[in-house]
Structure 1
Amino acid sequence: MEYNQFSAGLKAGTSIAIGYFPVALTFGLLAKTAGLSIVEATAMSIFVYAGAAQYMSLSLITYGVDPLLIIMNTFVVNIRHFLMTASLNEKMQPAKKWVKSIYAFGITDESFSVLATGTKGKIPTAFAFGVALIAYGSWVSFTAIGHIIGANLPHFLQAAMSIALYAMFIGLLVPSMKGNRKVVMLAGVAAATHCLLYVLGVPTGWSILLATLISSILIEIIYARRGKTVESAYSRKEGA
């Protein structure tokens, strides 16, 4: 029974593995151009396993940011995983904590989506392992392959690929901004704050960290107050 559930998890996670192919390949290639060895790049995918955070880390490594600041920035970017795993925990079949900790490491935005919608009722532990394993294997293996490809590119192309890192961030940001005013405000406030901090001479690592926190907190406060204002106006209208 568990084998069937594991196989079903592998099948459900295949789409994630295919989707990770170009992203992980590009990460490995960019890691090579950023100066990371194949061992370092692959180890980052093995132990961090977080696409957005890994791309951000490459940018910070390129700027020579202090490792502690890179860790802090990674923590802030990945803090959403606390919410995802807490939500998923309510839908999982009972299991020992050490078992949960293993498959929880494999939870990403994509695997969370598959697990949350892929089964009816409680999610079998073996199914979760299947989804996480095939996605994780794809990310790590294609990171290594991307690095090997990058190592064999001409030097002028390796240097030019550093621009692709910024293009990747723009490609991730723009689609989420369409029709979403909150994302536009978050991006705008974060960019403005980062520019201001940069002008004031704040180191890159700290400016990114502070800009992320300031924009997130500020926009949430604005939306929370706006929600209360709308609720208050609705209550007055109902009372009238």
Structure 2
Amino acid sequence: MLNIGAVLLLLIGAADVIPPCNLPTTVENADITENQQVVYNHGAAVTYACHKNYRMEGEGTIRCQNGQWSPNTPTCIGVKTFCNATQPNITTQCFGSLGGIVEVLLPKTSQNDTYRLKKDNIVIVNIRSETTDWRYSFIASTGIFTIEDVSIKDAGEYSMEVHDADGKQVANTQFYLTIHESRIPFIARSLTVVLLLLAALGVYWALKKKKTSRPRDIALSSMAVDDDVLYVNVSGATGRAGGE
């Protein structure tokens, strides 16, 4: 008959090993600000923070649960930025965030004025409100030019010319739009992928080594009843007492 110590050993040997988590997913336009580690065991947590001009959607802190991160990693969405480009004869520097909205204040126009808004010398908005991109819009009465869902292709030099009914130029302004991208360079992203692979291989070999090195029969002389030696088969076979 097995004693209590043998039963405990059987339970320990049969218990599943709780796997660790791989390196957490890289979030565009965000950094991990707390608990950066090489290996994340069950219960470990990391916290993300979005870059400037970005807002977070989702939970900022995720936790390792049975080898998986929970909840899903958050996303960082570009927010609205504003730029005043009404000053003539200079090029105003404006900024935008990927996925966000850019509003640029340009000269207001009257009903009899004509205007052309160009990007890199190509007309994108004119008096007939014809645009080359659905994301562009211009309100003549307020002078607000808007770009929605900003992408990297929106970066560049913009100019606007306004003429009155007699064809005389009454306004001429320029601005240059710079788009903020993720600060994580390509090499850093590649290094993250390599570390993920190494961590996965390390976990695999550790589990394999533990499985192959586990003995099938373990002597429990310190737990035996009387002076006999009790042997327990960890694989589940019935225990047998020595000296039968």
TM-score in terms of structure 2 length: 0.23
Larger Rg: 2
TM-score by length of 1: 0.23
Q: Which has the higher helix share?
A: 1
Structure having the higher strand fraction is 2
